[in-house]
Structure formats: structure tokens, C-alpha cells
Amino acid sequence: MRVRCGITEEPKNCHAVGPTHRTIPEPLPGAPGDRQHPAGPVSIFGDELPGVEVLAKTECLNPGGSLKDRPVLSMVLAALADGQLQPGKTILDSSSGNAGIAYAMVGRIIGYPVEIVIPNNASTERKKRLLTHGAQLIYTDALKGYDEALREVHRRHDTDADTQHYFFCDQYSNENNWRAHYETTAVEILEQTGGRLTHIVAGVGTGGTVTGLGRRLKEHDPTIRLICVLPEVFPGIEGLKPLGPGDIVPRSWTRPSSTSGSQSQVRTRTRCVAG
């Protein structure tokens, strides 16, 4: 029996801008939850790990080009449904790039302005995509890392307490972040592997992906190990975030129950999440 290992990835954006509507659209082909994100074989580890079948989940097929479409759509639609997001408000959050693109795209479709706090070293293509969707960008000092963008978005939200101009989505503590992966990403992985997997590898940013995957996959099989790519310090890679002493830790992040040593295949600090 071959070991199955799944890798979730967030490739660079690859899809065009969609139309603008003020009503919530029907799901697009390839939209989150539409089961159109295949897990394809990766042969790069064939010689090193001949007994391991490695699959990569192609999240670039989301309309915004990344995994972040799933939680952003979930969070925004939930806010519309429960009345937190009302006409006249601006959607506010911080992002290293991909979530911001998802906010800008969804906000443009449903007719809500979007304001994103983003580190100044975000890639040029992400900045262009955000601006193309009509988002307003607030840049923070790249040398202060992504945590400075988080501090700035909270400063703006706190200052807004009286006027309530913003709907602060707060992907770092919004439970619909991890729920989106529990309800869609993990279910697709189980369907696409027939439930026959032993490990899954994912990077940690907000913690929503690994928390949602960990909870759902371990309901299916408690022995599945979730390997989290956790840099010791900010690596300058969009989407990865250190969670050590002095770093801001997302509320949506489920703390690991055990620690494994550095994995030779990953070459960064990794931990195994148990639930």
C-alpha cells in the first residue's frame, strides 16, 4: 500500500477580473466548494521517496487564483447573512496579498468597497490585481514584517469605533476562516484521495487552513498527520508567518499538541497539529 501525502499550495494568481454585480452571484465553475480543484501527482520526490505518492491540490483554479478565496467568501457571505456587513460600510482587513485579492474581488462583485492594509514588499502583481479590482491599499513598513500590517489594521478599526465606517472581517480571529476549509477543502481532499492519506503539508499564515483541515481530517482518521510549515522568523515569503515569542498569534490557530524536529524535505521549522 502506497503512502499518500497531500500538499496544499497557493500559486500566483492566474485568472482575470470578473464582472461587477450588487447581488450575490451563483457559484462560478471552479469556485470554492464546486469540487473543481483536482489533486494532481507530483513526481519531484519520486527518487527520494519511491514508496510515497505525493499529490498537490491546485488551488490556483479558484477565481482569485489562491486558496484564500474559500475563507474570504465564507466570511463575507456570513457577515452579509447576519447583518454585520451593511450598505455603506467598507470591508477592512490586512493581508500579505492573496486574501486581499479575494476581498477585493468579492467586494467588487457584491458592490462593497474594500480597504486592505498590506506590507509594502507585497509582490507587484498582487498590488496590481488589488488595484484592478478597485481596492484601496494602505502600505506598512516592510522591514517591520507582516505583524505591522496587523497592528495598523487594528489601529484603524479601533479609531473607527464611533463612526463604524468599517466592517472589520479580521481573518485572524474569524471562525468562518477555518470553517471554510473544514467544510470544503478537507472534504475535497478526502474525496480526491478516497480517504487514503497519511500526511498533509500546508503553510501557516492565519492558521485557518491547518485548523480546518486538521479538525476535519482527524475526524475521518485520527492518525493522519498535518505537517505545518512554520518559519522561525519572517522569511519574506507571502502567506507564511512565524508564530514564535513576540509574534502575533492568530486566534484561529489551533495550537499543536506535539512538536516534531525539522523535516529534511521542508527545510523549515515544522510542527504536527493534532486537532
Look up residue 207 and give its DSSP letter. Answer: S
- Per the annotation, the verdict on 128 as an active-site residue is no
pLDDT of res. 251: 65
Under DSSP, is residue 147 helix (H, G, I), strand (E, B) or coil? Answer: helix
pLDDT of 85 over the 60 cut: yes
> For residue 265, what are the CA distances in angstroms to 16, 44, 74, 241, 253?
34, 11, 33, 19, 23
Under DSSP, is residue 252 helix (H, G, I), strand (E, B) or coil? Answer: coil
The whole-number average pLDDT for the span 157-175 is 92
Residues 6+ apart with CB under 8 A from 161: none
pLDDT of 164 over the 60 cut: yes
pLDDT of 272 over the 90 cut: no
The span from the CA of 252 to the CA of 255, in Å, is: 9
Of the residues 57, 68, 127, 241, only one is catalytic, namely 68
If one compares 95 and 253, the residue with the highest pLDDT of the two is: 95
pLDDT of res. 263: 34
pLDDT of res. 31: 45
Grid cell of 254 as nine digits = 489551533
The residue written with cell numbers 495598523 in the block is 152
Tell me which range, 18-27, 122-131, 224-233, is most confidently predicted by mean pLDDT: 122-131
Q: What is the CA 251 to chain-centroid distance, rounded?
A: 14
The span from the CA of 170 to the CA of 50, in Å, is: 42
Residues 220-261: tens digit of each pLDDT: 999 999 888 776 666 555 666 656 666 556 665 555 443 333
pLDDT of res. 18: 30
Residues 179-228: tens digit of each pLDDT: 999 999 999 999 988 998 999 988 887 888 989 999 999 999 999 998 88
Any idea which of 15-19, 33-37, 40-44, 149-153 has the lowest mean pLDDT?
15-19
